[in-house]
Structure 1
Amino acid sequence: MWSQLSSLLSAFTLTASVGDNDIVDDGVKQVAVIGAGAGGTATAYYLQQFAEQAGLTVNITLFEKTDRVGGRTLITYPYDEPLEAVELGASIFVESNQIIFNATQEFNLTLREPDSAADDLLGIWNGENFVFTQNSQSWGWWNLAKLFWRYGMAPYKTQKLVQSTLQTFMKLYEEPYFPFLSLTQRLEELDLLKITGATGAQFLADNEISELFARDIIQAATRVNYASNLEYIHGVETMVSLASEGAMQIVGGNWQVFDRMLQRSNATVHRNTQVGSIAFKNNTGPGADAKYILSTRPTRSDAEILEEHYPVAFDKVVVATPWQFADITAKGDVLQHAIDEIPYTKLHVTLFCSPFRLSPSYFNMSPGTKTPDSVLTTLGPDEEPKEGAAGGGKAGFYSISTLRAITNPKTLKEEYLYKVFSPEKLTPEFLSAILGAKVPDTFVSEDGGAPVEEEGVAISPISWYYPHIFHSYPIEYPRVTFQDPLVGSGVYYTSGIESFISTMETSALMGRNIARLIADELAALLDGETEQGEPEVQEKVAPMPEVLGDEDEFTPEEL
């Protein structure tokens, strides 16, 4: 610890002696990326590729305020067992996620199917009863027959609607739609704004999907994937919620794909480093030759260290983290277009291990009845849809999943690993009810309360417990304008795409898009220098319109 702190002090003593006029500038194009999540690592990875293809020399410097890579792709280890990694967020991706899947193949990462219990009985619960159940061992004609018997042609229509919407979205990956300086313009060209401008409920109704199927099945998907009822999520994200066919994850954690991207980019990486401000070098203004200086400070140390200028002037800066959580000051006219602040969902993710199965009595089932291993939730027919924590309804949670059997290292007995998504912190009373066993207030029996006994042997109701709170994704209100990636003359922003679609893949897509924009602009400047001996600004598009604010983000009441 002391040697690390000494190194930090030495580094920042050096930067303290560097003034604005002394910042290193050796002619090589310098790009700063702030954030090592999906968007930031994809930006660095693709920028290195595009620069090499164009014959450009680019130095990439990435700043990450934590000590890890992957952003919201986060894992933990039950019982501190390294072979039992379990995802907390961004748990799955699918083969149609071209960027993520292709990267796993390039980096030789091992894939597997997502966690699930052996017999995997799925139930959708509305707080009073199960409106639908499905067994993974009979995915074929029997489950299809149940769906069509109860919901008619709605399942078939929905499948076609999902396929059509996603096929349209996939055009963003290729010319002439890629790259894009205006996300709003591209979505208008692809005729997707009419879908993002409607609630999920409206979009489904307009396409003659029955209200019963929407409430029972589709809403269960929007709740487990985006913690939202259909009246508080737009149509495109509703379709994305249903696109989980062929789901997979990376053995050891999905974060590894972004770690490999960062390694392959050859970027200089500063972990535990907070960027405090972005300013023009020497107080110059925006323009083709603008250069930026960043102030940084360590986020993990045993002593207070003042924020100092990083000793390199950057030609381009990419902010690859939600601006409202970044704690960065943009000085002067660095931001020429306001960054839209959008509300993020506060999601409680709780993992725990227990020898007890889910209790049938909690779900109003007869004693001895097999309880579903995975429980999704929806609203009852008489419940009013609400947003935020109140949106949980009578069910009170979004999902409970029995991920897999796991061996308790203390007892050497098999237990069950559970994962719960909820709008509020779980209580001992709730845990006691769903397990049918008294859970002490401490959640760990050896430290509080008498353990349950079975045949004279003490059993801990919960043997391992891990709660986590995520600002997991934006609340996807219907809207028809979206944040564009260029927010200053040389400043780019990745997180604007999240209010359109919030996934690992789409964040990586925006990173790839920004990398292409930067490479194209630097190549154009290089051509100008080569042909005329001095830089030549080549305007590719008309000036950007001002990004519109909250008045363009509609609530269901306004619609």
Structure 2
Amino acid sequence: MLRLFLFLFLLLLSWPPVSGDAGATRLDVGGPPSKIAVIGAGIGGTATAHFLRQHFGPEVQVDVFEKGEVGGRLATVTVNHHDYESGGSIIHSLNLHMQDFVKQLGLKYRRSVAGKTAVFNGEEVILEETDWYLLDLFRLWWRYGISFIRLQMWVEEIMEKFMRIYKYQAHGYAFSSVEELLGSLGGSGFINMTRRPLSDSLLELGVSQHFIDEVIAPIMRVNYGQNVSIPAFVGAVSLAGAQTNLWAVEGGNKLVCSGLLKLANANLLQAQVTTVSPVYSGEIVQYQLSFNTATGSGSELYDIVVLATPLQTSVASGVKFQGFSSPFDTLPGEYHRTVATVVHGYLNTSFFGFPDPRLFPFASVLTTDTPDLFFNSAASVCPVNISAGFRRKQPQEAGIYKVFSPQPLDKAQLKTLFRSYYSVQVTEWQAYPQYASGQGLPPVELHSNLYYLNGIEWAGSAMEMSSVAAKNIALLAYHRWNRQTDMVDQKDLMHRIKTEL
């Protein structure tokens, strides 16, 4: 029994202090921070506020600045008194942070409504889902050989390695760069995947060009509006998002963001941050944030600042950096423009080769990378609140459709896709980076106690990627503040964790 108590005592001494009483570990270096600012209230910013509160405790003041709507790229539009997702719509079943948010906030999973998918090449439907899973598998094998099996094994291997991040973060480990984070999960293989095209990786894997053109390309077009030249890592993220085990939040995914702000007891400031300037007191640096509100302007001093908004010029976040030796207002790269058009009307099924709409069996249509095609996908969508008696509209009825396209649809294009329509709502997004091989990954640490969250998007853009980055920055900020260097950028973490246990 004495040995057992001694073991438990030693275990408690060695356990990493990742949350709770931050002041107790900061006594030798001046105590916990007084005020922390987060710029941006999308999923990344609100998750960061939540995790900062977890790790720094209840005393620190957490201010979240947002110039627009809480939720950022998680947003809805209203049609006929019902709301529909216009931004980020799907979440993977293995997204553990998002699952945990929903559980903590008491939110519910949205009831799924079945619907079949097809691929259209501009002239005809070349691939279609049926009601029979085994028949679908047989058709894939008959048309593409074992390419789909090789692809599935590749995606599963990547996801299995990526899942390690949850163990690392549960034990309190953080990373000072996106490269360090990816390297800890998949070694140089993951880092190289951010630098080479998806098509090259798949061809090397033994996936046929036929399969890439007819299956992979349509998935890239609907998820990222881009082609198979995007880097392999973000391609794998996209392919994971094309699986069947997906979900969404009842009432809208943006409810997670507003819920996290409340859970964090954060102060929401409806303001546009204009400048971030360092203020030095000996070796200590703080940050002066200047901002504009609807009623005037102001400024505040913060110990730690997290930028959870893109800094690329194409997005125009409006934040300027003054007084730094090297500016980072404009990081390299651009964000990709994609247009979400929500239409209430009658789909023109004849365009897809089905003159009788009653015979059109598909809820969504993806498209191949064909020059004459002006849209990436068209899908019948369900509202964010789905009642028990809800049913998807049949093609011969007026329904709600969401069309993704690189440019706003003109009247001729709308008439091509729809026999007639009652309303059209257009949302233009700078939704995700314009991916290119060898473009590099932005920094996480811009300056002492000044962090940048959105750099993770250049590895892969998704709600869970932002949530992982939020947890990493909260841990990194905590360890940097408390000078716990042994919790940052450690090697062979799987072995270390097993040793700790």
Give the TM-score normalised by structure 2: 0.82
Structure 2 contact 277–321 (Cα < 8 Å) conserved: yes
Structure 1 contact 335–491 (Cα < 8 Å) conserved: no
Structure 2 contact 194–459 (Cα < 8 Å) conserved: yes
Aligned to 2:406: 423
Aligned to 2:477: 518
Deviation at 1:29, TM superposition (A): 2.1
The 3-state SS of whatever aligns with 1:197 is coil
Shift in CA distance, 295/149, structure 1 to aligned 2, threshold 3 Å: same
Q: Mapping of 1:34-433 within 5 angstroms?
A: 34-52=39-57, 57-66=59-68, 68-79=69-80, 81=81, 84-114=82-112, 120-135=115-130, 137-138=131-132, 140-175=133-168, 178-189=173-184, 190=186, 191-231=189-229, 233-244=230-241, 245-271=244-270, 273-281=271-279, 284=280, 289-298=284-293, 300=294, 305=296, 307-310=297-300, 313-324=301-312, 325-333=316-324, 340-354=331-345, 356-360=346-350, 362-365=351-354, 370-371=359-360, 372-380=362-370, 393-404=371-382, 415-433=398-416
Aligned to 2:12: none
Paired amino acid for 2:331: D
1:428-476 Cα offsets, whole Å, 9 max, x none, are 21222222x3xxxxxxxxxxxxxxxxxxxxxxx2122211100010012
Deviation at 1:319, TM superposition (A): 0.7
In structure 2, distance between residues paired with 1:199 and 1:507: 22
Shift in CA distance, 288/30, structure 1 to aligned 2, threshold 3 Å: farther
Q: Which blocks of at least 5 consecutive residues in structure 1 are unaligned?
A: 1-25, 381-392, 408-412, 438-460, 526-537, 543-559
Structure 1 contact 335–487 (Cα < 8 Å) conserved: no
Shift in CA distance, 169/177, structure 1 to aligned 2, threshold 3 Å: farther
Shift in CA distance, 338/417, structure 1 to aligned 2, threshold 3 Å: closer
Give the paired residue count.
439
Structure 2 contact 219–238 (Cα < 8 Å) conserved: yes
Paired amino acid for 1:174: K
Shift in CA distance, 507/518, structure 1 to aligned 2, threshold 3 Å: same
Structure 2 contact 199–228 (Cα < 8 Å) conserved: yes
1:203-252 Cα offsets, whole Å, 9 max, x none, are 10010101111110111111000001102x11111111121331111111
Q: Mapping of 1:476-487 within 5 angstroms?
A: 476-479=435-438, 481-487=440-446
Structure 1 contact 335–488 (Cα < 8 Å) conserved: no
In structure 1, distance between residues paired with 2:165 and 2:138: 36
Q: Percent identity at matched positions?
A: 27
Aligned to 1:410: none
In structure 1, distance between residues paired with 2:174 and 2:127: 43
Q: Mapping of 1:526-541 within 5 angstroms?
A: none
Aligned to 1:548: none
Paired amino acid for 2:38: V
The 3-state SS of whatever aligns with 1:418 is strand
Structure 2 contact 195–439 (Cα < 8 Å) conserved: yes
Deviation at 1:359, TM superposition (A): 2.3
In structure 2, distance between residues paired with 1:27 and 1:235: 41
Deviation at 1:502, TM superposition (A): 0.3
Deviation at 1:74, TM superposition (A): 0.3
Structure 1 contact 358–373 (Cα < 8 Å) conserved: no
Q: Mapping of 1:439-454 within 5 angstroms?
A: none
In structure 1, distance between residues paired with 2:33 and 2:334: 39
The 3-state SS of whatever aligns with 2:440 is coil
Paired amino acid for 2:125: F
Deviation at 1:379, TM superposition (A): 2.5
1:500-535 Cα offsets, whole Å, 9 max, x none, are 01001111111111111112233349xxxxxxxxxx
Aligned to 1:6: none
In structure 1, distance between residues paired with 2:32 and 2:481: 12
1:469-510 Cα offsets, whole Å, 9 max, x none, are 000100121237312211111210001000101001111111
In structure 1, distance between residues paired with 2:368 and 2:74: 26
Deviation at 1:374, TM superposition (A): 1.2
Structure 1 contact 177–186 (Cα < 8 Å) conserved: no
Shift in CA distance, 539/152, structure 1 to aligned 2, threshold 3 Å: closer
Aligned to 2:15: none
Deviation at 1:167, TM superposition (A): 1.6
Paired amino acid for 1:289: I
Paired amino acid for 2:158: T
In structure 1, distance between residues paired with 2:439 and 2:425: 39
Shift in CA distance, 51/177, structure 1 to aligned 2, threshold 3 Å: closer
Structure 2 contact 73–431 (Cα < 8 Å) conserved: yes
In structure 1, distance between residues paired with 2:173 and 2:165: 6
Aligned to 1:32: 37
- Return the index of the structure with the highest Cα Rg: 1
Aligned to 2:20: none
Paired amino acid for 1:521: R
- Greater alpha carbon shift after TM alignment, 256-265 vs 398-407: 398-407
Shift in CA distance, 211/326, structure 1 to aligned 2, threshold 3 Å: same
In structure 2, distance between residues paired with 1:184 and 1:193: 6
In structure 2, distance between residues paired with 1:368 and 1:509: 44
Structure 1 contact 294–309 (Cα < 8 Å) conserved: yes
Computed over aligned residues only, the root mean square deviation of the Cα atoms, in angstroms, reads: 2.7
Paired amino acid for 1:463: Y
Structure 1 contact 124–130 (Cα < 8 Å) conserved: yes
1:37-73 Cα offsets, whole Å, 9 max, x none, are 1111111101111123xxx83211111111x211100
In structure 1, distance between residues paired with 2:335 and 2:403: 19
Shift in CA distance, 96/334, structure 1 to aligned 2, threshold 3 Å: farther
Structure 2 contact 65–269 (Cα < 8 Å) conserved: yes
Deviation at 1:259, TM superposition (A): 1.1
